[in-house]
């Protein structure tokens, strides 16, 4: 079963880790990007790549690399009404 979540990018310059963008299936996204494949075409609107520019908080421009991904946190557990 597909599990959605966010991709994690770490800036080489400032070390900041960004959690963006959200993808419908983290494993597929990381697996594809890690080996140089494009994301599935059915994922319109889920732009992602292995690295992109990072606007560091001190004004410098760094390069952020894909370091992995994490699944969405399940905030509401099974609710038993009754
Ligand atoms: Zn940075």
Give yes or no for a contact between 71 and 6, defined as CB atoms under 8 angstroms apart. Answer: no
pLDDT tens per residue across span 64-76 = 999 999 999 876 5
Centre of ligand 1 from the C-alpha of residue 82, in Å: 50
- pLDDT tens digits, residue range 22-81? 899 999 999 999 998 888 888 876 667 899 999 999 999 999 999 999 999 876 555 555
CA of 78 to the centre of ligand 1 (A): 39
Q: Residue 2 above 80 pLDDT?
A: no
Q: Which of 2, 8, 6, 23 is nearest to 65 (CA)?
A: 8
The owner of tokens 């963008």 is 21
What distance in angstroms lies between residue 21's CA and the mean position of ligand 1's atoms? 16
Domains of the chain by residue range: 5-71
What does the alpha-carbon distance between residue 7 and residue 23 come to, in Å, rounded to a whole number? Answer: 7
DSSP per position, 2-44: ---EEEEEEETTT--EEEEEEES-HHHHHHHHHTTPPPPTT-T
């Amino acid at each position: 079963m597909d599990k959605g979540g966010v991709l994690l990018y770490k800036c080489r310059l400032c070390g900041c880790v960004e959690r963006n963008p959200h993808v419908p299936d983290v494993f597929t996204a990381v697996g594809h990007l890690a080996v140089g494949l494009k994301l599935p075409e059915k994922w319109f609107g889920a732009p992602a790549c292995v690295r992109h520019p990072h606007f560091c908080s001190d004004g410098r421009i760094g390069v952020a690399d894909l370091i992995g991904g994490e699944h969405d946190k399940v905030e509401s557990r099974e609710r038993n009404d009754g």
